[in-house]
Structure 1
């Protein structure tokens, strides 16, 4: 666990590393968030181009835990960059706790089969419940094209929830129940491939589920490239009466009760 110096002010915040779905727009990155709580640093997802942004906040990749919601590369591919950095970059030490669905390791091992990710990561399978630094972590299965978990982080002062990618599902109300900040995917993808069940949300639906959850603040993320983010926020406000934030790279959101 990385503790602040004696004169440092403890930080309790979320920093957006990436906000795009599928592939990054110019100057942006795919899904990624840095959660900081009194010196403990936890990463939620590391999609395309999220690692360089993480390194501007955590030089040498000095984080305490990583959580990956599912195996799609716009959520996990830069985890392999972090692996190589720690393996080849002289960052010896204990293995980094990694909480992920089983498909993540399978997908990333295909990039470099001769290098075992478990030499760097201490892997814990999701869904499941764990103690992670200052947080209780719960992974909640949610519908997507591959196994995906929503993530709920809580302690006696704050609750943060994040959907990963998901279609409409009643479990979204429980995942974000009374969350101080609920980060919800709002892909707004037109022409989603036909499936027996929908696997992505609209911004209006993101607001609906945040309202059902009784969340205090909603942050929209996972924007399909080219979509109008202001229009997405307006759609979410039509169904959610609390504060609606738009995930933008390097946006910092304080954590705590509002």
Structure 2
């Protein structure tokens, strides 16, 4: 299984960067996890729009889903359009993004997905757990070839994240803050310390920190996570490629 980081910033992209978007590949199948700001142009450096086989969106905040629009436009406006793109998301999460164009212009099949669902997408098995956030958020576990990765999306700390990531080769976990989450976001967002606790409880093989808010140095987040988790810790950065398994 190959994981390519298209972007991993939280809230909005800084210069020459992008928000949450991850391309997962196995046996020729391309699965896109989230499509935040500025991820679509980076996706095109790895594959054509028509070569994406399925999309899973964790939740409806624009830093995770807004570039679904140009992906669907590129497919639908092609001279030889590919089949409708299967898109999986919490019910109602993509209403605003999908309403940006006139009805019928974009070619996709939208599938509601939520807590406890198991999706079979090509060679992948995708298990979903609802995690606490300001809006419905689906944490996902993606398994293929006997290898699993877990992706939090955004959420507050939850024992369900550790269960989702149990024994995973890699946990892609939110670290909006290094240590303390402000009171107005407590329970809805996580820190690098929270990510470390989840990785430790899950026995994950590697921790990859994502969704760092603008201005948070990666080294600061990594240092905080290493204080609570003994395994390898890195920040997710656009352009990284991880071979799992």
Same topology, TM > 0.5: yes
How much does 1:105 deviate? 2.5
How much does 1:61 deviate? 4.2
Cross-structure match for 1:194: 184
Contact 2:58–2:138 (8 Å) recurs in 1: yes
How much does 1:103 deviate? 2.6
Cross-structure match for 2:103: 115
- Unpaired runs of at least 5, structure 1: 1-11
The answer on 1:249 being equivalent to 2:242 is no
Cross-structure match for 2:113: 126
- Unpaired runs of at least 5, structure 2: none
Contact 2:181–2:190 (8 Å) recurs in 1: no
Q: SS where residue 44 of structure 2 aligns? A: helix
Contact 2:19–2:36 (8 Å) recurs in 1: yes
Q: SS where residue 99 of structure 1 aligns? A: strand
TM-score (norm 1): 0.89
Contact 2:50–2:81 (8 Å) recurs in 1: no
Task: Write the deviation string for residues 202-234 of structure 1: whole angstroms up to 9, x where unpaired.
Answer: 001101111011100110000100111111011
- Alpha-carbon distance between aligned partners in 2 of 1:229 and 1:115, rounded to the nearest angstrom: 42
**What stretches of structure 1 move > 6 A for 4+ residues in a row?**
none
The answer on 1:13 being equivalent to 2:9 is no
Q: SS where residue 103 of structure 1 aligns? A: coil
The answer on 1:36 being equivalent to 2:25 is yes
Q: What number of residue pairs does the alignment pair up?
A: 242
Specify which of 86, 92, 108 is matched with residue 103 of structure 1: 92
The answer on 1:238 being equivalent to 2:227 is yes
TM-score (norm 2): 0.93
- Alpha-carbon distance between aligned partners in 2 of 1:24 and 1:225, rounded to the nearest angstrom: 8
Give the direction of change, closer, same or farther, for the CA distance of 1:116–1:69 in structure 2 (3 Å limit): farther
